[in-house]
Amino acid sequence: MSILGTRVLRTEDPRFLTAGGVYTADVALPGACHVQFVRSAVAHARIRAVDVSAALQAPGVIAAFTGADLGGLPLPSPVSRRISAEMAQPLLARDVVRYVGEPLAVVVTDAAYQGEDAADLVDVDHQMLPAVIDPEQAAAGASGLLFPGAGSNIAATFGDAAGLRPDLFDGCDVVVSRTIVNQRVAPAPMEARAAAATWDPGGRLTAWIPNQGAQDTRAALAAMLGIDPAQVRVITPDVGGAFGAKFGADPEHALVCWVARRLGRPARWAETRAENLVAMTHGRAQRQTVTIGGSRDGTVAAYRLEILQDAGAYPRFGAVLPAATILMAPGPYAFGRVEAVARSVVTNTTPVGAYRGAGRPEATAAVERAIDLFAAEIVMDPAEVRRKNLLPRFTEPHTTAFGAVYDSGDYPAALAKVLDAAGYSGLRDEQARRRAAGGAVQLGIGLSCYVEITGPGVEAGGPSENATVEIHPDGSATILTGTSPHGQGHATVWAMLASEELGIPLGEITMKWGDTDLVPEGGGTGGSRSLQQGGAAVQQAARELVSLARQRAARQLEASPADLVFDAGRSAFAVAGDPDISVPLTALAASERLAVRTVFRAPGPTFPFGAHLAVVEVDTETGKAVLRRVVTVDDAGTVINPTLAEGQRHGGIAQGAAQAFLEEFSYDADGNPLTTTFADYAFVSATEMPSFELADMATPTRYNPLGAKGIGEAATIGATPAVQNAIVDALAHLGVRHVDMPASPQRIWEALQAASVAGRAQQPQT
């Protein structure tokens, strides 16, 4: 019986539950000094002077540095060639600070506790500049330019805004348009950022950094420090969550390494929670205008999406996320005509980066709100509108208007399955009864259908990943992988894949990753790529190892390789028809090293899909919304370990629902952050979530031998619009057509009051 597809408990957990993890802050580094960053307390100002003299006299202070001390370091390159080099972020602000939390000086102390007090003694002389917070104002440039040399606050554009078709909605019976907000959120991983660094006498750097891919982190560090990547070794300790925000390296990481080199002793840094909330890259932050048109029978003829992306003060990865949003703009629908354009603008706020889904959730949120707005306008059940417009089932790749090549899908089946699992007609009956009774607590039912892209890559020939599998004479095996786990369960699943091919027990298989000396190449973990590429590479390496071992066994048994049968139960080769004549893999490994390194290359990315249904109760007197049920179908192709896949779905649903209900990182008009602690920045706990109802569906892909697609971000993508749609649906009979996220009690109450006023204004006067 195959181990694949079975519920295997995580092999990683005993260590975490007993000895505990070893995170960057736990790495033993004798003699290390401690780095404390002095961060800007204002959003936009010209720096007249940074005086560190008082800090240098504080107890335990070893040194203090400003941007003037970094003259030998290169200015980091923008994330894309389309972005002006004027907008690159220096490691320490030199002439201008552009957001609250931007590093502008470093204080180095003997003990960690000494740094915070010493940093308070650094005196910064500012000349205040106007803060540009609103992305619309930033785009217009009316409030000033963050980078005068660039000539504009627009960092990048996507699509041809001048080429939008004026006749796109010609012939439509109904056209609905609305601007909606996909708000700024903080990734807030359990482990904040950290770094530890030391240089050997030969001038080679070793850095310990919590990251999502040691190889990309090495490249980023080398670029910021102006050295050859061969001079850098990155080691990834245990990582306490990432959600996209720990891919690569940040200026703070490079500065810790620079301090270690400058002082000739190890250096380390661990971020506080307040620092993390204001200084780690944020996510989402799009303002979207959706326009949708079609006929009153529910057929959508045309859809347009216009995106304004807030990139924050410096254009990092978030500035190019609209490209992913545009790619996935039509979602799973067969719209006849589709257009999408975007602008990314800089503002005096924390830079925006990748956050779970990175551009794809924004696309789904836009189109799913558009579908519900259209359904409300034509007074049709939103499930029926979706059913009429979903692409039909396909097994051959389908190319969209924006060039996305969907590998396989059955979107109508996913919708039908989730409606059936939820008892949709019964829910609508219950909703009708509550509306007729006129009680304060009303029921809302929200839907979303989604498709997303996972495992994208820019490599020639298709996205790829490497793996090495080695069998040792004692019967154990080691896997080296270019992926980088931080909670996903790679060690368990990679061992399952190797065990299936080699017959070695799970407990005898060790996985190693995240050390650039051990694994020099690798794509890391992001974009839900790991299983479909990294896992496929492990399976391929194990199969190639069996082939290699077959040749060696044939020589030892003096038989033809074709006459040998591999018995995984015994992890041995035997002569066909004579099982007593055999040789185990351990014997072959004892005589000569038995290892294979391979690279798996996929023909392209895969496109998981699904449907979510959320049920909420909304108190129309107080505006409080409560999530009562979540029913989902998340089709990620073949599932190797249902327990781990369900865990990914659980986390994704909670994170997506949290954005709809609670999460928002906000600023005042002067650019001061208002959500700098967990007392201000709210997110859900288990007490706010119901038990999730997961319906299973699997549409395998042909793009890897496993048939697997990505699952790490899918549930987040489907959950957010389903919950938002449910909240609006609960209020629809009272005249509410939209509530922006997060749907706080105040925001819901205000929407109800506005609808009531509008309703009275439309009543005939007597």
Task: Note the pLDDT tens digit of each residue in 541-558.
Answer: 999 999 999 999 999 999
Q: For CATH 3.90.1170.50, list the domain ranges present in the chain.
A: 31-127
- DSSP letter for each residue of 717-750: HHHHHHHHHHHHHHHGGGT----PSS--HHHHHH
Is 761 a residue whose pLDDT tops 80? no
For 389-437, the pLDDT digits (tens) are 999 999 999 999 999 999 999 999 999 999 999 999 999 999 999 999 9
For 63-116, the pLDDT digits (tens) are 999 999 998 899 888 888 889 999 999 999 999 999 999 999 999 999 999 999
Q: Which of 272, 314, 409 is nearest to 699 (CA)?
A: 409
Output the pLDDT for position 459.
77
What fold, for 283-454+606-761? Aldehyde Oxidoreductase; domain 4 (3.30.365)
Q: Which residues of 203-216 are buried (b: 16+ CB within 10 A; e: fewer)?
A: eebbbbbbbbbbbb
Q: Which CATH architecture has domain 457-601?
A: 2-Layer Sandwich (3.30)
* Chain position carrying tokens 């005898």: 508
Which pTM value belongs to this model? Answer: 0.96
Backbone angles phi, psi at 678, to 5 degrees: -75, -5
Question: pLDDT grade, residue 505 (50/70/90)?
Answer: very high
The whole-angstrom separation of Cα 335 and Cα 333 is 6
Exposure of 562 in the CB half-sphere (CA atoms within 13 A): 0
Is 469 a residue whose pLDDT tops 60? yes
CA 583-584-586 angle, 5° bins:
130
Q: For CATH 3.30.365.10, list the domain ranges present in the chain.
A: 1-30+193-270, 283-454+606-761, 457-601
CA 417-422-424 angle, 5° bins:
95
* Chain position carrying tokens 């368990």: 492
Task: Give the helix, strand, coil percentages of the chain, each rounded to 5.
Answer: 35, 25, 40
Cis peptide before 745 (omega within 30 of 0): no
Note the CATH number of domain 31-127.
Answer: 3.90.1170.50
State the Cα torsion 311-316-319-323 to the nearest 10°.
-150
Output the pLDDT for position 399.
96
The whole-angstrom separation of Cα 152 and Cα 139 is 8
Output the pLDDT for position 577.
87
Is 25 a residue whose pLDDT tops 90? yes
What fold, for 1-30+193-270? Aldehyde Oxidoreductase; domain 4 (3.30.365)
Is 46 a residue whose pLDDT tops 60? yes
Output the pLDDT for position 49.
97
Neighbours of 628 (CB within 10 A): 13
